[in-house]
Amino acid sequence: MRFASLGGFGAALACAAFLVACGGGGGSAPTSGSLTGGSMNGNHAASNQGPGTHITVVIHRDNTKTHTHSHLRRVATSKRNPKFVSENAEGLQITVAATGAASQSVYADLTSSSLCNTVSSVTTCVITVPTIATNEQFTLLETDSVPQNSTNGYGTGFSNGTNILGALNASESVQLGAANNLALEVGPVAANLYDCYYGLIDNGVPNALPQPHNSNYGIDTSNSTRLVVTGGAAANGVIAVEYGDASGCWFNGDTTPAPFVDVNGSPTPISVGSSSTALTVAPIVNNGTAPPASAYTQTNSIPNDGYYWYDCEFLIGIKTSASFASASTITFNNNLTALNPFTSAAYPNTVTYQVVPLTVSSTSVTVAASGSTMVTGTDSNASDPMDAESAYGAQDENCNTGGGATLATISPGSLNGTNWTQPFTINAGSTTGTCTFYIYDTDAGTVTLPITVTIN
């Protein structure tokens, strides 16, 4: 049986005896209460199981979390916790419709003590909805505000400005006058996508995955959405993007992955794509298995929460081929187009990474003893000029032999902020021979490009 995932991963809307009680027609009547104006009003404590369909919602409210995306750099991997809803959930609108019957809506206050009971930050709410036909259409909207005119846990609607955190639109068959067991899964609305702070997963990545740091791949520490690779060499790495609902809350894993949905409940995968055929991407599934080579394509998608690895992030493997020669982009889009009925607005949101190859006019040059020559490096949208070194981390602006002898020195010029080129003057000494130096992106650090110099 699938568990419901209200606004996140698995919020209990299934009718398991210990988790969700859903009944139609049977049971004792509530002590008071009536259906008026299409909304449920009355005194329904969480233990009441009167006529109608009863839906239990379990909310884990973790008040220790910081509800902004920028704090997560690098949290240890989180175990996937089933049956969570958005911890900012405060309301639930449930509409039941059927052919030949008037639709009825219930507006439940998920903060109400009349419906809910909280123990150790875990809130359990029992909501009663009408059973109106044998074949019903359920529409559920999880919201970040309590309903208006709330009395004993039920109100008359939600105010303008209310955000939808999760949604469902599904048909269910029930029996009139009998108990009904339903399995409803409300999908998360990925209203916000975030660059994950530095963007690059730099620890905790399983060994089977593409390793994020090597001499061909790095992250710009001054611009978290700028990735740098060595031009002319194949590179791979892992980037992380996280999402939250419209209230900024995160979700935890569901044992049965919930589909991402639009605010009308329509399945809506998050898309990821690159602007270059030489730059490909592949989502990494939640068990951390490295994607096969065939999975890397120019466009891809994340259809459900099964692609999560960390608490709130999906990991994306990226690859650039040796032919990757110009700055390109990787764009994530939540593809939400439906309007929020409470705001008459959509939740469009994208995150764009720029992938930049570090290139040079020539990787092999010849210069006369005691003479000079020049090569030109290119590093698009860099915040700081490139530099030169005899080996990674040396920062000495020398050109050395394999034995460590310096045969030439390098003088970096200024970075042109328009075309992003930068000259490097090679000043040869009097000794002939061959030496090597590396230009590197000072913002990404690890990305270097070797240049061989022959002095004759």
Per-residue pLDDT of the chain (456 residues; tens, 9 = 90+): 222 333 322 333 332 222 222 333 322 222 222 222 223 333 333 334 445 677 778 887 764 443 333 322 222 233 333 333 677 889 999 999 999 999 999 999 999 999 999 998 888 898 888 888 889 999 999 999 999 999 999 999 999 999 999 999 989 888 787 766 666 778 889 998 887 644 444 445 566 666 655 678 888 888 878 999 999 998 888 888 888 888 877 655 566 778 899 999 999 999 999 999 999 999 988 767 788 899 999 999 999 877 877 667 788 889 999 999 999 999 999 999 999 999 999 999 999 999 999 999 999 999 999 999 999 999 999 999 999 999 988 989 999 999 999 999 999 999 999 999 999 999 999 999 999 999 999 998 878 899 999 999
SS3 content of the chain, % helix, strand, coil (to 5): 0, 45, 55
CA gap 22, 27 in Å, rounded: 11
CA distance 421 to 451: 16
422 and 322 in a single domain? The answer is no
Q: Note whether 275 and 180 are same-domain residues.
A: no
Q: Looking at residue 445, what is its pLDDT?
A: 82
The phi, psi pair for 446, rounded to 5°, reads -75, -15
Task: Give me the residues paired with residue 187 across strands.
Answer: 167
Domain boundary among 328, 359, 390: 359
DSSP state of 298: S
For residue 155, what are the β-bridge partners?
107
Total residues belonging to the chain: 456
| Position 28 in a domain | no
Same-domain pairing of 372 and 343 = no
- Are residues 310 and 216 part of one domain? yes
Reduce the DSSP state of residue 354 to 3 states and report it: strand
Task: Please give the tally of structural domains in the chain.
Answer: 3
- Tell me what pLDDT residue 152 has: 93
Q: Dig out the tokens for 377 from the structure.
A: 């490096």
- Domain assignment present for residue 18? The answer is no
Same domain (yes/no): 355, 366? no
Which two structure tokens, joined as six digits, stand for 213?
């740091």
- Is there a single domain that holds both residue 197 and residue 178? no
Tokens of 94: 């449930």
Same domain, 330 and 214: yes
Q: What is the DSSP string of 1-39?
A: -PPP-TTSS----B--TTT---BSS-SPPPSS-EEETTE
Whole-angstrom distance, CA of residue 410 vs CA of residue 372: 10
In a domain, 412, yes or no: yes
Q: Round to whole Å and give the CA distance between 261 and 43.
A: 33
Query: Residue 413 maps to which CATH number?
Result: 2.60.40
Gap between the Cα atoms of 314 and 190, Å rounded = 12
Structural domain span for residue 103: 34-188
Among 172, 188, 204, give the residue marking a domain's end: 188
- Looking at the fold, whether 414 and 326 belong to one and the same domain comes out as no
> Which amino acid makes up residue 348?
P
Task: Give me 38's structure tokens.
Answer: 């299409």
Q: Please give the backbone phi and psi of residue 412, each rounded to the nearest 5 degrees, phi first.
A: -70, 140
Residues 304 and 400 in one domain: no
CA distances from 53 to 42, 48, 138, 139, 350 (A): 15, 11, 11, 14, 39
Residues 47 and 117 in one domain: yes
Tell whether 384 and 283 lie within a shared domain: no
Alpha-carbon span 113 to 264, nearest angstrom: 29
Pairing of strands 279-283, 53-60: unpaired
68 within a domain of the structure (yes/no): yes
Secondary structure (3-state) at 138:
strand
3-state secondary structure of 163: coil
Say whether both 57 and 180 belong to one domain. Answer: yes
From residue 456, give the alpha-carbon distance in Å to each of 177, 329, 405: 97, 42, 16
Residue where a domain stops, chosen among 344, 359, 374: 359
Name residue 422's beta-bridge partners.
Answer: 377
Dihedral sign (CA 392, 394, 398, 399)? negative
d(CA 189, CA 345): 14
| Per-residue buried b or exposed e for 97-127, using 16+ beta carbons within 10 Å of the residue's own CB | bbeeeeebbbbbbbbbebbbeeeeeebbbbb
393 Cα distance to chain centroid: 33
